[in-house]
């Protein structure tokens, strides 16, 4: 074993960080997210203990939150990762020399996302019931609109991510796994919005997922969830989906005009 060859390969990978913003951000991104999410969870539990409040179904809160969060994540990945699979196979150009339109392509990715969500949800719900005796269906009639709200948000994030990959190329591929988690701390997945600092509480008001997870906790705790909050979440969902579509189509036109479609995956 020669040290100079080991050091050469080490430097080869380190030098990549000098010219890649996405790689640099990734170093700080995941530790920061972990610190924020689990820090707020700890703060939530500490506050409950300090105030002498009991949590009637703490296990249900976490399991329900994990299952619902996975719906959003799989919906986003159903679009962005499916797109990357075409890029990795160098099949992207072949698709668009065919009669296939970009709109038809996006709709197919949305259907792939729905398929993944349904399969993952059924498996997760079954395992939660078998292993932990937790029945997610206690949410009742709100479960379907909750899921639909998260699926639409996942579509929007996935389409946005795909547009960014089109714009910045392979160096942005890491976004396919990381963008959704950017919304996790302010979506109040495992804790109420009230735990967040004031400025983050204001941001949570414009995140559709925060209304879903607040609603889930309210129902599990036996409280009434206001339907108006769900309507607001759907309104935000549609607004973000339209923005994501506008961004994606604009990036696609730019890439096509510059002749870069043929270079996707190279």
pLDDT tens-digit map of 201-236: 999 999 999 999 999 888 888 777 777 888 999 999
Q: Is the pLDDT of residue 266 over 70?
A: no
pLDDT computed for residue 74 by the predictor:
92
pLDDT of res. 70 = 92
Q: What is the pLDDT of residue 110?
A: 92
Residue 46: per-residue pLDDT: 77
Could you tell me if residue 163 is left (phi over 0), alpha (psi between -120 and 50 degrees) or otherwise beta? Answer: alpha
Separation between Cα atoms, residue 79 and residue 83, nearest integer Å: 6
Which position has the higher pLDDT, 136 or 172?
136
- Nearest Cα residue to 190 out of 37, 50, 43, 46: 37
252 vs 90, higher pLDDT: 252
pLDDT by residue (tens digit) across 64-82? 889 999 999 999 999 998 8
Dist. CA 47–CA 190, nearest whole Å:
14
pLDDT at 117: 93
Please answer whether residues 20 and 171 qualify as being in contact, where contact means their C-beta atoms are separated by less than 8 angstroms: yes
Is the pLDDT reported for residue 130 higher than 60?
Answer: yes
Please determine, for residue 55, whether its predicted confidence score (pLDDT) is greater than 60. Answer: no
In the prediction, which pLDDT does 264 show? 59
Predicted local confidence at residue 71, as pLDDT:
93
Q: What is the percent of the chain with per-residue pLDDT over 70, rounded to a whole number? A: 91
Max mean pLDDT range (57-61, 163-167, 247-251): 247-251
Q: DSSP string covering 164-224, please? A: HHHHHGGGGTTHHHHHHHHTTGGGTSSS-GGGS-HHHHHHHTT-HHHHHHHHHHHHHTTPP
Q: Is the pLDDT of residue 56 over 60?
A: no
Mean pLDDT for the stretch of residues 51-61:
66
Express each pLDDT in 114-129 by its tens digit: 999 999 999 999 998 9
Over range 100-109, report the average pLDDT.
88
User: Using CA atoms, how far apart are residues 145 and 142, in angstroms rounded to an integer?
Assistant: 6
Name the most confidently modeled range: 44-48, 52-56, 203-207.
203-207
pLDDT of residue 42: 81
Give the model's confidence band at 183: pLDDT under 50 very low, under 70 low, under 90 confident, else very high: confident
How many other C-beta atoms can be found within 10 angstroms of the C-beta atom of residue 218? 17
Residues 23-37: tens digit of each pLDDT: 666 777 777 777 888
The yes-or-no verdict on residue 44 having pLDDT over 60 is yes
């Amino acid at each position: 074993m020669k040290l100079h060859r080991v050091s050469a390969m080490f430097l080869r990978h380190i030098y990549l960080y000098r010219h890649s913003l996405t790689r640099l951000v990734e170093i700080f991104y995941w530790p920061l997210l972990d610190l924020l999410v689990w820090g707020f969870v700890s703060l939530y539990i500490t506050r409950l203990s300090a105030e002498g409040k009991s949590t009637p179904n703490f296990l249900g809160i976490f399991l329900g939150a994990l299952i619902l969060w996975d719906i959003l994540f799989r919906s986003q990945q159903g679009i962005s990762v499916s797109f990357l699979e075409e890029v990795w196979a160098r099949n992207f150009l072949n698709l668009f020399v065919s009669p296939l339109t970009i709109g038809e392509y996006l709709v197919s990715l949305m259907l792939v996302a729905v398929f993944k969500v349904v399969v993952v949800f059924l498996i997760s719900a079954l395992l939660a019931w078998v292993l932990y005796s937790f029945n997610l269906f206690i949410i009742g009639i709100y479960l379907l609109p909750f899921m639909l709200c998260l699926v639409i948000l996942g579509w929007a994030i996935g389409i946005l991510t795909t547009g960014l990959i089109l714009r910045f190329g392979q160096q942005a591929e890491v976004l396919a796994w990381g963008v959704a988690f950017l919304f996790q701390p302010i979506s109040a997945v495992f804790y109420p919005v009230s735990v967040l600092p004031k400025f983050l509480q204001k941001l949570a008001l414009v995140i559709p997922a925060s209304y879903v997870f607040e609603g889930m906790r309210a129902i599990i705790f036996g409280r009434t969830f206001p339907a108006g909050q769900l309507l607001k979440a759907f309104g935000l969902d549609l607004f973000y989906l339209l923005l994501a579509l506008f961004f994606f189509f604009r990036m696609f036109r730019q890439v096509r005009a510059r002749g870069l479609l043929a270079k996707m995956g190279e």
